[in-house]
Amino acid sequence: MKKLTGVARIWRVVILLIVGFYLLLPLFSMAEFSTRAGADGGRTLDSWAAIPTAPDLLASILVSVQLALLAVLGILVLLVPTMIWVHLRLPLMRRPLEVICMLPIAIPAIVLVVGIAPIYRWLSQFFGSSPLSLAFVYTILTFPYAYRAIDTSLRSVDVNTLAEAARTLGASWPKTIMGIIIPNIRNGILGACVISIALVLGEFTIASLLNYETMQVVINLLGKREGQISVAVSLAALIFAFVLLIAIPTSGKKQEVAQDGA
């Protein structure tokens, strides 16, 4: 890549400073707000220490984590095999599958919840009022992001040739998929799982309107009563999600072909 000229470099710094200030100021405010001690301007970590004692919070975090794991499970046992299968055996289904997977972006969650409420009333006959039944709809909400991560991986390794090679060497379909394809799109799958976890942990709309107590719902309720604690939890959750996402392997990008560096 060509180095920027002097003027462009100054512009770059200016842009980073302005946008960076706007994006970091609220985070700084959260840290400041959650560590206030009274009106005299002292600092205390009391709010942070009080997080574990906040009513319902730990239980709701547990629920959200379980939901996230269930959504990951859904991606692993449903989306990944379906995508690989369609890629290898049903090329005609590729376009429909993509459209279906992308649809949740086009249908707002607030719209979906309107239509899904009756279905969940019916579902509660089987699952009781367990919030874990949210896993069904959450899995679908993760499809657009998971699809893109896995699809990039699938495209970058030419799975069809790999599969043909494995098949001509005598591997069965299950062996081909488990032993050859999946290891080669590992990064894409990992990325899909991480994004899905973040997405489920952050979901509020559906849980709140179907009256399930997930982490976001409880944090929101907490905000009405314990402002400082809720801000502390929020910041902690944001930092946690950041750490989670930064661990995503840089997947999908094709290896750059070695070129004449001269």
Partner 1 sequence: MEPKSNAGAAVELKSLRRAFGNVQALNDFSLEIDQGELVALLGPSGCGKTTALRALAGLQDLDSGQILVQGEDITHVRASKREMGMVFQSYSLFPHMNAQENVEYGLKLRKESRKKDRRARRAIEMLELVGLDTQSKRYPHQLSGGQQQRVALARALAIAPDVLLLDEPLSALDAKVRSQLRDEIRRIQLELGTTTLFVTHDQEEALGIADRVGVMSGGSLAQIARPAELYERPTSALVAEFVGLTTPLQCEVRDGVAYLLGSSVPVLPGSVTNGAAVALLRPESIDLVPDPQSQSQVLTVSFLGSVCRVVVQLEDKTLLTVQALSEKIGDFPPGSHVGFAFHGSPVFAKPVA
Partner 2 sequence: MTQAQIVETGSSQRGAGFRRIKRWLPYLGVVPFFVLVAVFFLWPTYLVVTQAFVADDGSFTLEYVKTVATEEVNLNAFRNSIQVSAVTAILGGVFGGLLAWAVANGRNHGVFRRATLAASGVFAQFGGVMLAFAFLATFGFNGLVTLFFADHFGDTILSNPTWLYGIWGLCVVYTFFQIPLMLIVFLPAVEGLRGEWREANDSLGGSTWRYWRHVGGPILLPSFLGAILLLFANAFSAYATAAALISQGSPIVPLQIRGALGSEVALGGAAFGKALALGMVLVVGVVMFGYVLLQRRVSRWEQ
Binding site for partner 1 (CB under 8 A): 2, 258-262
The phi-psi region of residue 92 (left if phi > 0; otherwise alpha if psi is between -120 and 50; otherwise beta) is: alpha
177 alpha-carbon distance from chain centroid: 25
Residues 238-257 that bind partner 2 (CB under 8 A): 238, 241-242, 245-246, 248, 250
Angstrom distance (rounded) from CA 166 to CA 6: 53
- Plot region of 259 (φ>0 → left; ψ -120 to 50 → alpha; else → beta): beta
Q: Which does 260 bind (CB under 5 to 8 A by kind): partner 1, partner 2, none?
A: partner 1
The tokens describing 221, both together, are: 């309720």
Cα–Cα dist 212/107, whole Å? 21
Quote the least distance from Cβ 170 to partner 2, whole Å.
20
Binding to partner 2 by CB under 8 A, coded x per residue (else -) over 87-116, reads --xx--x---x--x--xxxxxxxxxxxxxx
Per-residue interface string for the shown chain with partner 2, residues 206-225, x marking contact by CB under 8 A = --xx------x--xx--xx-
Helix (H) or strand (E) holding 43: strand 42-43
139 touching partner 2, by CB under 8 A: yes
Residues numbered 145 to 164 that lie near partner 2 (CB under 8 A) are 145
By CB under 8 A, residue 168 contacts partner 2: no
Beta carbons of 82 and 74 less than 8 angstroms apart = no
Rule CB under 8 A: say whether 130 interacts with partner 2: no
Task: Look at residue 26 and give the partner it binds from partner 1, partner 2, none, a contact being a CB closer than 5 to 8 Å depending on partner kind.
Answer: partner 2
Does the protein bind partner 2 through residue 79 (CB under 8 A)? yes
**CA distances for 254 relative to 2, 83, 106, angstroms:** 20, 20, 29
- Member of 10, 28, 160, 175 binding partner 2 (CB under 8 A): 28
Residue closer to partner 1 by CB (options 169, 257) is 257
